[in-house]
């Protein structure tokens, strides 16, 4: 490289006026094997893969709109929390006896911390030159075991969560107008119904009572005998027949528009 006397620059910048690198792509024909240039040959193929991936991604998005539950209500103590799916394994861990209660720190901090820490230190624990997975059985076995544990915990978490209940608890329910001073509402508020079906019939542990589409007689029957599918057990109603009649008529008239 030419230095010092005789050097010419572009204006007063530090860019040299001559001896610049020519704008000619490298020749890869001398490289071993079927090496090819990243630009533009390989990038075009990458774009093809990207395009196919994007189509699948868009189909997924169009077929499944992003979920939105009802607005957050911090006073709702019945709601069963569930994180996004990639945190389910951690969430499941906290349900085991050895990792919850007094041992909460084991499930919440120590085990995830160890996992991340071990992952980060992998290159310093597995220092041999061998790269093929079957030639280094210990690292391979540990990783397979970890992946299996992640899948198992996630699976258990999904299997143990009541997704139907979660859908009911999170559903956006249109608020309806009703007379809180009416006799029907008084009976409702004093019965056990309100515990599961909510202050304004929005549901909770139970379904919403808005737009049931049932007649007063059918509602009275469910209140006493429970539902046919067994989701609601019989025997919740403890008032008089007269109150039941007023209540069931009141509920059958709860419509959102």
Partner 1 sequence: MLNKIYDWVDERLDITPIWRDIADHEVPEHVNPAHHFSAFIYCFGGLTFFITVIQILSGMFLTMYYTPDIENAWKSVYYLQNEVAFGEIVRGMHHWGASLVIVMMFLHTLRVFFTGSYKKPRELNWIVGVLIFVTMLGLGFTGYLLPWDMKALFATKVGIEIAGSVPFIGEQIKILLAGDSEILGAQTLTRFFAIHVFFLPAALLGLLAAHFVFIRRQGISGPL
Residues 6+ apart with CB under 8 A from 19: 1, 2
Site string for partner 1, 111-140 (x = CB under 8 A): -----x--xx-xxx-xxxxxxxx--x--xx
Residue with tokens 């607005």: 71
Site membership for partner 1, residue 74 (CB under 8 A): yes
Give the three-state DSSP class for 53.
helix
* CA dist., res. 188 & res. 178, Å (int): 12
User: How many residues bind to partner 1 according to rule CB under 8 A?
Assistant: 84
Residues 175-214 that bind partner 1 (CB under 8 A): none
Q: Which is nearer to partner 1, 70 or 231 (CB)?
A: 70
Count Cβ neighbours within 10 Å for each residue of 140-158 and write b for 16 or more, e otherwise. eeeeeeeeeebeebbebbe
Site membership for partner 1, residue 95 (CB under 8 A): no
* CA dist., res. 86 & res. 112, Å (int): 13
Residue with tokens 């249109």: 174
Site membership for partner 1, residue 162 (CB under 8 A): no
Region binding partner 1 by CB under 8 A among candidate stretches 72-80, 207-215, 224-232, 242-250? 72-80
Residues 7-36 that bind partner 1 (CB under 8 A): 10, 13, 15-17, 20-23, 25-26, 28, 31, 33-36
Q: Which is nearer to partner 1, 169 or 191 (CB)?
A: 169
Q: Which is nearer to partner 1, 161 or 186 (CB)?
A: 161
């Amino acid at each position: 490289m030419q230095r010092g006397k005789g050097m010419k620059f572009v204006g007063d910048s530090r860019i040299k006026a001559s001896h610049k690198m020519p704008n000619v792509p490298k020749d890869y024909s001398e490289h071993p094997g079927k090496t090819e240039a990243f630009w533009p040959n390989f990038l075009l193929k990458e774009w093809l893969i990207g395009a196919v991936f994007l189509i699948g991604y868009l189909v997924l998005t169009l077929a499944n709109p992003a979920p939105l539950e009802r607005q957050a209500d911090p006073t709702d103590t019945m709601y069963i929390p569930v994180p996004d799916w990639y945190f389910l394994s951690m969430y499941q861990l906290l349900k085991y006896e050895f990792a919850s209660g007094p041992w909460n720190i084991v499930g919440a901090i120590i085990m995830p911390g160890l996992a991340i820490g071990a992952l980060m230190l992998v290159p310093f624990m597995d220092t041999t030159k061998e790269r093929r997975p079957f030639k280094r059985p210990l690292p391979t076995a540990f990783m397979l075991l970890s992946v299996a544990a992640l899948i198992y915990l996630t699976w258990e978490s999904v299997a143990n969560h009541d997704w139907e209940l979660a859908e009911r608890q999170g559903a956006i329910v249109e608020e309806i107008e009703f007379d809180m001073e009416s006799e029907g509402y008084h009976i409702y508020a004093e019965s056990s119904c309100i515990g599961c079906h909510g202050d304004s019939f929005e549901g909770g542990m139970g379904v919403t009572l808005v737009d049931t589409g049932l007649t007063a007689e059918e509602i009275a029957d469910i209140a006493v005998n429970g539902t046919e599918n067994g989701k609601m057990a019989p025997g919740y109603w403890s008032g008089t027949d007269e109150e039941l009649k007023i209540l069931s008529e009141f509920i059958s008239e709860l419509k959102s528009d």
